[in-house]
Amino acid sequence: MKKIVLVLFALGLSLPLFAQIQLPEHYYASGNWSFIGSRLYQMDAKAPLAKMNLKIPQEGPMLYEFNARYESGAEDGHAGFGIHLFADSSYPRESWGSGKSYLFWLNYDENPGNPDIPKGFSTQIYQSVSHSRMELVESIDLNGYSYLITRENLASPLPIKIYMNNKNGEVRVYDPTNPDEYMHFYLDPKAVPARASWLALRTNGGKFSFGM
């Protein structure tokens, strides 16, 4: 199983080695992205489709680990971030989808436009069919965890850990409050490229930072 450590983009390397790491091909398609030290920031709270593309080969069982921290921008009642996995292509500008891929999304929206998305705290899985088309696969109400959305908790990075195997569609999304527990399900493996070259970090309506 290959492990992808986002932002450091290398296996098992520690923070002091960051300056020695050569990043893979990547570019900022939309939004205001920049590195401050070893942390990646997206600082345009008004960007609805902020996206950073990273060229990373993905095939078979993969483990993705990183953390995300809310910086600001949800004062209007909406902010979210997510990651496209197993993307077969990238797009150099603002786009709704990211080629053929799956988007894992964490969302806070007090007035969602889609009736299938719960008000408040939720998570979604989208199947991206192209750069302009995505379909909602699953939407899960997380308001039972809304007690965790406090000023103190928001100031701390949220650990994200996702296992996905494009050969059989198996997915495990680990509970950030208990690393021994995870949500286990299967997606359609036919909808995932056999060999993917890209992944993409995304934000919507908020400022976020990413790191290890």
Q: What residue spans define the domains of the chain?
A: 2-13+24-211
pLDDT in tens, 155-202: 999 999 999 999 999 999 999 989 899 999 999 988 888 889 999 999
Separation CA 198–CA 26 (nearest Å): 9
Separation CA 176–CA 66 (nearest Å): 11
Output the pTM of the full model.
Answer: 0.89
Residue 153 CA: distances (Å) to CA of 53, 71, 159 = 28, 12, 12
Tell me which residue has tokens 């993409």.
200
CATH, domain range 2-13+24-211? 2.60.120.200
Contacts of 190 (CB under 8 A, 6+ apart): none
- Would you place residue 5 in the very low, low, confident or very high pLDDT band (cuts 50, 70, 90)? low
pLDDT in tens, 123-149: 999 999 999 999 999 999 999 988 888
